[in-house]
Amino acid sequence: MSEIQLTSDLIQWKDGAADWEEAIRESAAPLLQQGNIAESYIDAMVENIRTLGPYILIAPNVALPHARPEMGVSEAGIALTVFNEDVAFPAGHDNKTQTARIFICLAAVDSDSHLSLLQGISQWIDNSELLNRLLEASSKDEVEDLINQYS
């Protein structure tokens, strides 16, 4: 997909999350653990949703949590979390509550370097078979196998 690799330690399968904020924090945890981001980056992602609404919902069932690089990115990275249960987000401008289960947490070091990564993410999102199979997955191993198969 790009020079940034989605390795096993950056892939998660979770049963559920108490709310959207916990889901954001859970999806960013691997990047925090590897030192790609600081806690301030996660806080910025949460605050952005509180302020701007659920702008990270980029396709049905897909969320792309991210914030500005200067909010705490030290190294570019991506993490994938698939939740078994829907995560509901606050209503946006359309006043509809939306949900997601696939979270692709993005950490970019600047506004341009992640463009090839976004192209790869776009290919995943355009692949309805992959998305459906990710939604049907019941373990981290299944998610990892699917990503390897479709990458």
Residue-by-residue DSSP string for 64-92: -----GGGTBSS-EEEEEEEEEEEEE---
pLDDT value of residue 30:
98
* 128-136 vs 140-150: helix crossing angle, rounded to 10: 170
- Candidates 123, 118, 114, 117; CA nearest to 150 is 123
pLDDT value of residue 3:
56
pTM of the entire structure?
0.93
- CA 148 to CA 34: how far, in whole Å? 21
- Helices and strands: H and E segment counts in the chain: 5, 5
Residue 66 bears catalytic tag? yes
Work out whether the CA dihedral 63, 69, 70, 76 comes out positive or negative: positive
- CA 16 to CA 113: how far, in whole Å? 32
- Domains identified in the chain and CATH numbers: 8-146 (3.40.930.10)
pLDDT value of residue 112:
78
pLDDT value of residue 1:
44
pLDDT value of residue 110:
86
Contacts of 50 (CB under 8 A, 6+ apart): 90
Q: Which residue positions in the chain have pLDDT lower than 70?
A: 1-4, 92-93, 95
Contact criterion met (CB below 8 Å) for 80 and 12? yes
Which residue is catalytic, options 14, 25, 66, 114? 66
pLDDT value of residue 121:
85
